[in-house]
Amino acid sequence: MFLALDRDNTILGIVSYAWGGFGAAFGPLVLFALFSRRTSWQSALAGMVIGTVVLVLWKQIGLSDKMYEIVPGFAANCFMILLVNLLIGQKDERVLQEFDEVVNEIKR
């Protein structure tokens, strides 16, 4: 309601910012969860937090005029997931086994 009361905001601008937030927070996580065997809950959480923080900061600093804020948020999320995957990685054998089963099923 407070966002809607701001005369400078448009419905399209608010919806664009919301979708940017969803994309920056969850987009890379979905891709890494589907395609990377090493993705752990730690890398997922770190990526979501960093992606969201970068998106909000990008918008608040005023850089949205130069580039849509989802781009740096998405990139920061990807970088953080990759970094944490390299440092920690997935150690849960059940998750690794299920990932391998799905990959084998798809290859058939």
Q: Give pLDDT, residue 3.
A: 62
Q: What is the arithmetic mean of pLDDT over 52-59?
A: 96
Q: Give pLDDT, residue 13.
A: 83
Q: Report the predicted TM-score, pTM, of the whole model to 2 decimal places.
A: 0.85
Q: Give pLDDT, residue 6.
A: 72
Domain ranges of the chain: 11-100
| Dist CA 48 CA 36 (whole Å) | 16
Whether the pLDDT of residue 8 is over 80: the answer is no
| Dist CA 61 CA 66 (whole Å) | 11
Q: Are 32 and 39 in contact (CB under 8 A)?
A: yes
